[in-house]
Structure 1
Amino acid sequence: MAMLSSRAVVFLILLAGGVQAGGGTSKCKLSVDNQREKKALSLLEPLTNISFKAQTTDGNDSYTYVLQICDDADGVKDAGVIQKDKSGKTVRIGNYNAAEATAGGDWVMLIYRGGEKYDNHCSNEERKAIILISCNRSVAVGELSMIQEKNEKSLDCFYLFELESSVLCADVQPKLSTGSILLIIGFSCLAVYLIGGFLYQRLVVGAKGVEQFPNYAFWSEIGNLSADGCDFVCRSRGSREEPPTYRGVATEPLEEPEERDDHLLPM
């Protein structure tokens, strides 16, 4: 049975939970309409039509945040993220019709702009939500976390959210190096040689004991053959003839043969 991809697993989970398909990420309107942001936004397609919630407590106040990917959060038209307090008052944090999307290797940063303006700080600018969605192979769809509200600055304040999901995890295809492939081929050939040779020696030749080992005579002499090869390569085998010795002329006079005068004596 073929393994299902992480996106397929999430899709099946959504079907099992009774979540109906909707418009997907096509409802989002990007501030900059380019292919790079469209591609980043398309990675979040399996997470659409899911309502994510996060709760925070600040002293006696508690807030609930609702996030929707490219759809109305808690039914508020065009709102991608909203904030609700204990009294039920709703504040629009950002709109999905003013969105930005940036993708990395295993993450997507989604930005919703166009929220309600601040009352007394951040120079009364519009609120903005930043949602960082990252890979986590252990969960199909994780819980939404509200990290912080950065509102101490005079400009560019934001709400930061974090979400984890396996849909952003790339399918890892194991790859073997060239050396590993060569080792596998080498060990496979060795196994075939040993097993095939053993069966041939035992069943065809009728060998017994260690003689069942293929080419036993050769391998038993491998040490001597290696030594002979090394001796042949490393040592000189040519015949060495000594140069003829130079014989000079003798400086001493040769001894004259002794002359016998016995024939001169009277008989």
Structure 2
Amino acid sequence: MAMLSSRAVIFLILLAGGVQAGGSTSKCKLSVNNEREKKALRLLEPLTNTSFKTQKTAGNDSYTYVLQICDDADGVKDAGIIQKDKDGKIVRIGSYTDTQATAGSDWVMLIYRGGEKYDTHCSKEERKAIIMVSCNRSVAVGELSMVQEEREKNLDCFYLFELDSSVLCSVAQPKLSTGSILLIIGFSCLAVYLIGGFLYQRLVVGAKGVEQFPNYAFWSEIGNLSADGCDFVCRSRGSREEPPTYRGVATEPLEEPEERDDHLLPM
């Protein structure tokens, strides 16, 4: 019984993983088979297992639209998107056998061509559907919405749809500046120095109290050492002459010393 339960759990995990991974877009036939459009189409693979529906009311008419990514919409062969009126009549708007895909930074524009021809509008050309799938981080798979049908032109008419999904949101890669990297390296080195030095002082040297701080004697004298260095660099050390002392000028004339010439007289 325990073995059966284990196998059942493994089967459910694999099944869940397969659903999450999505299907394949290989059924879609690109009108221009290049690597750029293939890459854009692969971005939609997580959405291939989901059938999207929306309704649109125009006057007394009500239409239901069914979209399938690279698969039969509502079981209609080769139809990527269909229109169904209130009487159940189905019109193929676009075929996934004639697909065009363009991708941007957080969006994919999927175009299904080869739909049924208009009866009277747009010079009776084939219908075409444009589906804009955009990034929305708040929803895994959003609701399909029909924006408009442009059929008042002679050529190049289209149906426009919108769909939001988080599968197109690129993962933001944080970028660190050079200063941030240097700060991280500096704080890491400081942490290693403090923790390693503390453990060495405590476990090897056997220090207690503040002496457990690495190089405690050096850091306790860092202030005096800085002051000595500043004094050595900023102050001159050579001998200097004392400036002359200022003396006031006397108001009375100085008495000249009396010259004595007694030494000139003969003895």
TM-score (normalised: structure 2): 0.76
Alpha-carbon distance between aligned partners in 2 of 1:35 and 1:196, rounded to the nearest angstrom: 55
Alpha-carbon distance between aligned partners in 2 of 1:86 and 1:14, rounded to the nearest angstrom: 38
Alpha-carbon distance between aligned partners in 2 of 1:208 and 1:105, rounded to the nearest angstrom: 60
Give the CA RMSD over aligned residues: 3.1
Decide whether aligned partners of structure 1 residues 52 and 12 sit closer, same or farther in structure 2, where only a CA change above 3 A counts: farther
Decide whether aligned partners of structure 1 residues 12 and 146 sit closer, same or farther in structure 2, where only a CA change above 3 A counts: farther
The Cα shift of 1:130 comes to 0.2
Alignment of 1:53-132 (within 5 A): 53-132=53-132
Alpha-carbon distance between aligned partners in 1 of 2:113 and 2:241, rounded to the nearest angstrom: 100
Q: Does residue 1:187 correspond to 2:191, yes or no? A: no
Decide whether aligned partners of structure 1 residues 48 and 158 sit closer, same or farther in structure 2, where only a CA change above 3 A counts: same
1:214 alignment partner, SS class: coil
2:25 alignment partner, SS class: helix
Corresponding pairs, count: 240
Query: For residue 43 of structure 1, what is the amino acid of its counterpart?
Result: L
Decide whether aligned partners of structure 1 residues 147 and 241 sit closer, same or farther in structure 2, where only a CA change above 3 A counts: same
Decide which moves more: 204-213 or 43-52: 204-213
Alpha-carbon distance between aligned partners in 2 of 1:41 and 1:260, rounded to the nearest angstrom: 130
Report the equivalent of 1:37: 37
Decide which moves more: 176-185 or 126-135: 176-185
The Cα shift of 1:28 comes to 1.8
Query: For residue 98 of structure 1, what is the amino acid of its counterpart?
Result: D
- 1:169-198 deviation per Cα after TM superposition (whole angstroms, max 9, x unaligned): 334444444333322221122122222323
Query: For residue 105 of structure 2, what is the amino acid of its counterpart?
Result: G
Query: For residue 191 of structure 1, what is the amino acid of its counterpart?
Result: A
- 1:259 pairs with one of 236, 260, 263: 263
Query: For residue 153 of structure 1, what is the amino acid of its counterpart?
Result: K
Decide whether aligned partners of structure 1 residues 226 and 261 sit closer, same or farther in structure 2, where only a CA change above 3 A counts: closer
Report the equivalent of 2:46: 46
Decide whether aligned partners of structure 1 residues 42 and 259 sit closer, same or farther in structure 2, where only a CA change above 3 A counts: closer
- 1:58-90 deviation per Cα after TM superposition (whole angstroms, max 9, x unaligned): 233221101112222112222111100110011
Alpha-carbon distance between aligned partners in 1 of 2:178 and 2:122, rounded to the nearest angstrom: 58
Runs of 4+ in 1 over 6 A off after TM superposition: none
The Cα shift of 1:101 comes to 0.7
Report the equivalent of 1:166: 166
Report the equivalent of 2:252: none
Report the equivalent of 1:27: 27
Alpha-carbon distance between aligned partners in 2 of 1:37 and 1:82, rounded to the nearest angstrom: 23
Tell which has more relative contact order, 1 or 2 (C-alpha 8 A, sep 6+).
Answer: 1
Decide which moves more: 101-110 or 46-55: 46-55
Alpha-carbon distance between aligned partners in 2 of 1:87 and 1:262, rounded to the nearest angstrom: 163
Report the equivalent of 1:7: none
Report the equivalent of 1:144: 144
> Equivalent pairs: percent with the same residue?
81
2:231 alignment partner, SS class: helix
2:192 alignment partner, SS class: helix
Report the equivalent of 1:245: none
Decide which moves more: 117-126 or 100-109: 117-126
Query: For residue 165 of structure 1, what is the amino acid of its counterpart?
Result: S
Alpha-carbon distance between aligned partners in 2 of 1:216 and 1:51, rounded to the nearest angstrom: 71
- 1:157-179 deviation per Cα after TM superposition (whole angstroms, max 9, x unaligned): 21111122233233444444433
The answer as to whether partners of 2:81 and 2:93 remain within 8 angstroms in 1 is yes
Any gaps of 5 or more consecutive residues in structure 1? 1-10, 243-254
The answer as to whether partners of 2:111 and 2:129 remain within 8 angstroms in 1 is yes
